[in-house]
Amino acid sequence: MHVNGKHYRTIWVNGNNKKVIRVIDQRWLPHRFIVEDLHSLDEMITAIREMHVRGAGLIGAAAGYGMYLATLEAPEDNLAGRFMEDAREKLKASRPTAVNLSWAVEIQLQAIKTGKTVQEKISIAYKTAGDIAEMDVDYCKRIGEHGVTIIKELSRQKGGETVNILTHCNAGWLGMVDWGTATAPVYAAIEKGINVHVWVDETRPRNQGASLTAWELKQQGVPHTVIADNAGGHLMQHGMVDMVIVGTDRTTSTGDVANKIGTYLKALAARDNNVPFYVALPSSSIDWQIQDGMKEIPIEEREPDEVRYIEGLCDGEIKRVLLTPEDSRAANYAFDVTPARLVTGLITERGICKPDRQGLLELFPERKL
Amino acid sequence: MHVNGKHYRTIWVNGNNKKVIRVIDQRWLPHRFIVEDLHSLDEMITAIREMHVRGAGLIGAAAGYGMYLATLEAPEDNLAGRFMEDAREKLKASRPTAVNLSWAVEIQLQAIKTGKTVQEKISIAYKTAGDIAEMDVDYCKRIGEHGVTIIKELSRQKGGETVNILTHCNAGWLGMVDWGTATAPVYAAIEKGINVHVWVDETRPRNQGASLTAWELKQQGVPHTVIADNAGGHLMQHGMVDMVIVGTDRTTSTGDVANKIGTYLKALAARDNNVPFYVALPSSSIDWQIQDGMKEIPIEEREPDEVRYIEGLCDGEIKRVLLTPEDSRAANYAFDVTPARLVTGLITERGICKPDRQGLLELFPERKL
């Protein structure tokens, strides 16, 4: 996508020096756009752990490139051995709950083992990291192509008037390598000249909507309005939302959707006001092993200070301010589960399906037992 | 209620000098506790307009005392005339949508007219202002007495285990003269030794929950936890909320409830999880003229910068930080309407009733046409 009119991905190889991986350091958005050079496995691990990069797809790609950087550092006599296995464990530990991260490092480890010489192993790791990133881009692009058909139909029903889309958190290109998941259909709509406008939930406590989604939509010239997380129900009651699209961290084989805390409340309001509620996801985020999202998906409880404090720009500097009484307790549940009964459809790289086992298996027949 | 162990109301007459009215300047909470002396009608108007004082009941009491301060300033020959009518208009204009404000100034104007001498008019105004404040305290205390019966029953059902109550915004004593509306049953429960714990929605964008409700609960020693507005649905899905109590800015004669933006989302989650959802209100906030809250209650749209910026404590100073991209648009709807079908009951000063015309008329038979 674009930043200040120039094409970017969230992670790429430095054109002049293949030993340097570049990423957008997202900690400074929306206030500063900073590109960071990563020269080693350790620097990549820090970037993942400290959330310079975040989001399912991007963490996977970063882990892939982390394994590639590790091959450059590995001692010759031990390349496929202990050093790379240590690299795998260190990467996995950097964000323990990120499914894509484990997935990417395992792919890399298997691929690297097939190389015979040191140089071959490095080449394979480089190519595999690129493939992981490309697959992410390809899946997101397809999600966009499938999802835009829904927006196109809503636009037709409204006689070409603006289609208002509400989204929660950041399921944008900043969380993937390009395009994003929930945003991919929006960017596809913009390319087709369809009038869209996005209501951006600020998404407390970490404000990924206000800081990341608003920023990336602005950079693509997508009309958007930031709202408090409290506002969506009112907007839906008054016909100001035509559809909701969100991303997901994990979806069960029965269509229950774990996503950023607050998603469930928007799904309830959508149902109460007959607003279609879609979830955009690459199939890698489907957990085929579980059936009941409410009972089987563990919900991460994060640091309470993320609720008690917030960061923002003040006199040109990024400051952290206290919002609550000094000694009031806070709780910080990071995700909630939206039951399948509240979901209109799942938008995947293979098409759109109903949020149930049958719908998913029609798109992914290889998953039938 | 208590502040640092000492009894306070939100507004009172200076004991040594009856010509000075004191208020808690709420702009500095929760970070600083500042009492402000108000010496004139103009100072009271500023305090109301700039939100040193806020909340339905407190604004009414402040307006009553504003009219009293005006009598001290009025020229002798014109006391009941133009000067007092000007005072009325200026007070009404200070927060144009506040119903209690108009109500209090009209009561004062009528009362003052019955005085024959200047001194008599001043005495009447003083007494009437006190009566308005006392009535507020009395109504809130009764709401507490009625509401606590629900908490007591929940406590009994749980065998004395902690009753978890979720509230949104500040419908506490800081918004009234004492006790509050939604908080009154909680304070009554604490007095009776019932184990309660309050989930405090931070209530973006103005964060009245995180700043005011958390502060006043802490001062009374009520166990509480501040949460992002997004979290309530998840808590209810997991049985961590036994009841919801909120306040209201306006309730229709059919039981639709206008309250702080986001209330509707919590009511939907309560219904979806069989959690009782109560609204606490003095009858002065019932609008007997209207039937359809969604269509007939106008929703104030406030300054978008309340969404884009937030205030908090940083290095001992209160700072305002920017949360969104510099030029992203924001929208700021202040209230939403929760339809009566989602409300379990209304807790009024006369008792608890179903949220419909019949229920309200049983408690307020004088309103029958």
How does pLDDT run across B68-88, given as a tens digit for each residue? Answer: 999 999 988 766 688 999 999
Which chain B residues touch A325 with a CB distance below 8 Å? 30, 211, 214-215, 218
Residue A268: its chain B contacts at CB < 8 A?
233, 265, 268-269, 272
Q: How many CB atoms lie within 10 A of CB A92?
A: 16
- Per the CB < 8 Å rule, is B327 touching A218? yes
User: Which of A230, A294, A322 is the best mutation test for B, with the most CBs of B within 10 A?
Assistant: A230
How are beta strands A277-280 and A345-348 bridged, if at all? parallel
What are the residues whose beta carbons fall under 8 Å from the beta carbon of A69, sequence distance 6 or more?
Answer: A19, A21, A38, A39, A40, A41, A43, A44
Return the ∠ at Cα A308 (arms to A302 and A311), rounded to 5°: 95
Query: What integer is the mean pLDDT of B160-178?
Result: 97
pLDDT tops 70 at residue A364: yes
For residue B227, pLDDT beyond 90: yes
**Between the CA of residue B128 and those of A49, A219, B106, what are the distances in Å?**
63, 59, 11
ipTM > 0.90, yes or no: yes
Q: What is the CA radius of gyration of chain A?
A: 21
At residue B11, the 3 state secondary structure works out as strand
Q: Which of B246, B168, B170 is nearest to B201 (CA)?
A: B168
Q: How confident is the model at residue A189 (pLDDT cuts 50, 70, 90)?
A: very high
- A324/B210 CB distance under 8 A: yes
Chain A environment of B292 (Cβ under 8 Å): none
Q: Which residue has the tokens 């839906």?
A: A236
CA-nearest residue of chain A to B272? Answer: A268
Q: Is A221 exposed, middle or buried (0-12, 13-18, 19+ CB in 10 A)?
A: exposed
Distance from CA of B118 to the nearest CA of A (A): 46
B328 and A224 in contact by Cβ < 8 A?
A: yes
**A116 Cα to chain B: minimum distance (Å):** 50
Strand order in the sheet with A286-287: A286-287, A250-252, A257-260, A335-338
Contact A307 B226 (CB under 8 A): yes
Amino acid at residue number B120? E
Nearest beta carbon to residue B218 from set A312, A314, A328 = A328
Considering the candidates B229, B249, B256, B336, report the single residue annotated as catalytic. Answer: B249
- At residue B54, does pLDDT exceed 90? yes
Q: How far is A154 from chain B (nearest CA, A)?
A: 23
Chain B residues close to A203, C-beta within 8 Å: 230
- Nearest C-alpha in A relative to B303: A227
Q: Domains plus CATH for chain A?
A: 2-135 (1.20.120.420), 144-368 (3.40.50.10470)
Distance CA B70, CA A179 (A): 63
Active site residues of A: 249
Among all residues of chain B, which has the CA nearest to that of A234? B336
CB contact under 8 A, B234 and A311: no
- Average the pLDDT over A82-96 and give the result: 92
Q: Cβ of B205 and A228 within 8 Å?
A: yes
| Distance between CA atoms of residues B228 and B199, nearest Å | 10
At residue A242, the pLDDT reads 98
Q: Do B234 and A260 touch (CB under 8 A)?
A: no
Q: Is B144 helix (H, G, I), strand (E, B) or coil?
A: helix
- pLDDT for B76 equals 81
Residues of A in Cβ contact (< 8 Å) with B233: 262, 264-265, 268, 336
Nearest residue in A to B333, CA atom: A231
Pick from B265, B305, B313, B329 the residue to mutate for testing the A interface (most A CBs within 10 Å): B265
Residue spans of alpha helices (H) in chain B: 41-49, 56-73, 82-94, 99-113, 118-157, 184-191, 208, 214-219, 232-237, 263-272, 293-296, 305-308, 357-363
Q: What does the mean pLDDT of chain A come to?
A: 95
* pLDDT category of residue A237 using cuts at 50, 70 and 90: very high
Chain A residues with CB-CB distance to B166 below 8 A? none
pLDDT in tens, A288-342: 999 999 999 888 899 999 999 999 999 999 999 999 999 999 999 999 999 999 9
Segment A276-284 mean pLDDT? 96
Q: What is the least distance, in Å, from the CA of A319 to any CA of chain B?
A: 7
Identify whether B77 is a catalytic site residue: no
DSSP state of B333: B
A-chain residues near B235 (CB < 8 A): 333
pTM for this model (two decimals): 0.95
User: What pLDDT is stored for residue B77 in this prediction?
Assistant: 75
What confidence score (pLDDT) does residue B15 get? 87
Which residue does chain B place closest to A211, by CA atoms?
B324
Rg of the Cα trace of chain B?
21
Q: For chain A, what is the HEC assignment?
A: CEECCEECCCEEECCCCCCCEEEECHHHCCCCCCEEEECCHHHHHHHHHCCCCCCHHHHHHHHHHHHHHHHHHCCHHHCCCHHHHHHHHHHHHHCCCCHHHHHHHHHHHHHHHCCCCHHHHHHHHHHHHHHHHHHHHHHHHHHHHHHHHHHHHHHHHCCCCCEEEEECCCCCHHHCCCCCCCCHHHHHHHHCCCCEEEEEECCCCCCHHHHHHHHHHHHCCCCEEEECHHHHHHHHHCCCCCEEEECCCEEECCCCEEEECCHHHHHHHHHHCCCCEEEECCHHHEECCCCCHHHHCCCCECCCHHHHEEEEEECCEEEEEECCCCCCEECCECEEEECHHHCCEEEECCEEECCCHHHHHHHCHHHCC
Nearest CA in chain B to A327: B218
What is the per-residue pLDDT for B80? Answer: 64
The pLDDT score that the predictor gives to residue B95 is 85
Q: Output the pLDDT for position A203.
A: 98
Amino acid B173 reads W
- DSSP letters, B151-182, are HHHHHHHTTTPPEEEEE-S--SGGGSSSS-ST
